[in-house]
A = this chain, B = another copy of it.
């Protein structure tokens, strides 16, 4: 029998998400296990394969009918050989040979790539991308992540650092970023950045309704900002305008390089839907070559947290047909 199944794996700091797919993209089963970060994450490959082996068995899928396994992991990946250069929040030491370990255990072909890149690939396969040849995916949550597809393939770059849209520099002397620099895109347009700007704004605009919300709930969310903006709160409106403007310019400049047919926005902040997309598109159009703007469509991501396993499975399909 020809191999007919794909396995997608998405390793996060808390859980490892996994799914068995039919080759054309239907999920047979999807599940997750905790990420065991003890001993610098040494048991993770074995945990993953043990779990998959059991699930294959319980679904009556033989290992030999699996075409291969795709794996998304956080950090910088050498996708040619499946090594993780560095993944701080998992604990793996430098050049952890994740791909090789999973291959030795399973005797299956294994392909590894960055989790944000694979989320982009997953959205492109079964989500908002619709198999675009050229796509920009942006995830706006605690940080701002990105994945780029050109000529139908994920762009990984020369040392696994491509598509780091969140670290495009937008303000030379801006707020400090987790990367150690200042003024990266994510300092302005992440959920964290938006809430920080709201709190800062309250010192000069203490009558904003956000003050009440902050006092009542102990913190603010981007949903608070979008809700307050709808009710006419000037501070919230000004932050959303600024975020749309800065994000629109940054995406326009990325689009000037990639000329995508789709720009897919995901992550928690994307739940704002049109309240984000409409001002964002307006700013984007103002900054972008008309020919590039005309060719591309903004979409909200559709697969949520499953994008990673979809993309991991699709990577196998793409590599092995």
* Chain A residues close to B by CB (< 8 Å): 76, 132-134, 146, 148, 150-151, 153, 155-165, 167-169, 172, 179, 181, 249-250, 252-254, 256-261, 287, 289, 291-292, 294-296
Interface pair A259/B159, CB less than 8 Å apart:
yes
- Which residue of chain B is the closest to A149 with respect to CB atoms? B150
A157-B259, A169-B252, A257-B257 known; 7 new pairs, CB 8 Å cut-off, are A134-B162, A157-B260, A157-B295, A161-B289, A161-B292, A168-B256, A254-B257
Measured CA separation A159–B172 after assembly (Å): 33
A87 to chain B, nearest CB (A): 13
Q: Contact check: which of B148, B287, B294, B296 meets A257 at CB < 8 Å?
A: B148
Partner of A258, one of B155, B169, B172: B155
- Taking CB atoms, residues of chain B closer than 8 Å to A134 are 155, 157-158, 162
With the chains together, A65 CA to B161 CA distance in Å? 42
Bound together, the chains give a CA A168 to CA B254 distance in angstroms of: 8
Copies in the complex: 2
Chain B residues with CB below 8 A from A287, complex form: 169, 172
Chain B residue, CB-CB nearest to A250 = B253
User: Would A258 and B257 count as touching, CB distance under 8 A?
Assistant: yes
A179 contact set on B, CB distance < 8 A:
289
Do B259 and A291 touch across chains, with their CB atoms under 8 A apart? no
Residues of chain B with a CB closer than 8 A to A172's CB: 287
Residues of chain B contacted by A76 (CB below 8 angstroms): 291
Contact of A289 with B150 in the complex, beta carbons under 8 Å: no
Inter-chain CA distance A277–B256, complex, in Å, is 24
**Min CB distance, A139 to chain B, in Å?**
15
What's the least CB distance linking A252 to chain B, in Å? Answer: 7
A258 to B258, CA, bound (A): 10
Q: Are B254 and A158 neighbours in the complex by a CB distance under 8 Å? A: no
Nearest first, the 10 closest Cβ-Cβ pairs linking A and B are: A157-B259, A162-B259, A158-B261, A161-B259, A159-B295, A150-B155, A168-B253, A158-B295, A150-B150, A134-B158
- What's the least CB distance linking A53 to chain B, in Å? 33
Which residues of chain B come closer than 8 Å to A249, judged between CB atoms? Answer: 169
Q: Within 8 Å CB of A250, what residues of B? A: 253
**Complex Cα spacing A160 to B320, Å:** 29
Chain B residue nearest to A162 (CB atoms) is: B259
Question: A165 contacts which chain B residues (CB < 8 A)?
Answer: 256-257
Closest to A183 in B: B287
A162 neighbours in B (Cβ, 8 Å): 134, 150, 257-259
Q: How far is the CA of A150 from the CA of B153 in the complex (A)?
A: 9
Contact A253 B253 (CB under 8 A): yes
Does A289 contact B164, Cβ atoms closer than 8 Å? yes
Q: Once the chains are docked, how many angstroms separate the CA of A224 from the CA of B136?
A: 41
